[in-house]
Amino acid sequence: MTALSFSAITDRLARWKFPAGLDGVVGIASGGMVPAALVAQRLGLDLRMIALNYRDETNQPRFAAPRLLSTVPDLGTWRRVLLVDDVYVSGQSWHAARDLLPRGIEVLPFVLKGKTDFALIREVDGCVQWPWKT
């Protein structure tokens, strides 16, 4: 497991080139709560959350597909949003959350860690220890 410091994460966020014209940030709870809050604060945007569960504490899938644990957030007049999670492993949680959001809204991805272009941290293999989790 690789430990990541809070300052290392926020320093990278400060340098990340986010897309222009975003109306808000939607975080995927529970793992994406802190990352989404950091991104929303960095961009000066409002934040909504959607709660899903797919993986257990050992990062193994516990269900065949992610399960919705909350209501789907009302995005009001938002037309372009950033959908944020902590990690992108299989993409199951991100795609499930996207499928629950209104079709007419442009949804752009962002995660803190994963082997994908929209991940802040791509070079770390395996699990990470986030500074906000004990």
Instruction: State pTM to two decimals.
Output: 0.91
CA-wise closest residue to 130 among 14, 16, 33, 17: 33
Domain count, the chain: 1
Report the alpha-carbon distance of residue 89 to residue 59 in Å, rounded.
9
The conformation of residue 80, written as its DSSP 8-state character, comes to E
Mean pLDDT value of segment 22-33: 95
Q: Is pLDDT at 121 greater than 80 in this prediction?
A: yes
Whether 90 and 111 have beta carbons less than 8 Å apart is answered as no
CA-wise closest residue to 100 among 77, 81, 120: 81
Q: Is pLDDT at 68 greater than 90 in this prediction?
A: no
> Considering the domain boundaries, does residue 63 fall inside one?
yes
> Considering the domain boundaries, does residue 76 fall inside one?
yes
Whether 128 and 3 have beta carbons less than 8 Å apart is answered as yes
pLDDT value, residue 10: 96
- SS3 call for 88: strand
> Tell me, what CATH number does 80's domain have?
3.40.50.2020
> Mean pLDDT in the chain?
91
> Considering the domain boundaries, does residue 134 fall inside one?
no
33: containing domain: 2-13+22-129
> Considering the domain boundaries, does residue 124 fall inside one?
yes
pLDDT value, residue 116: 87
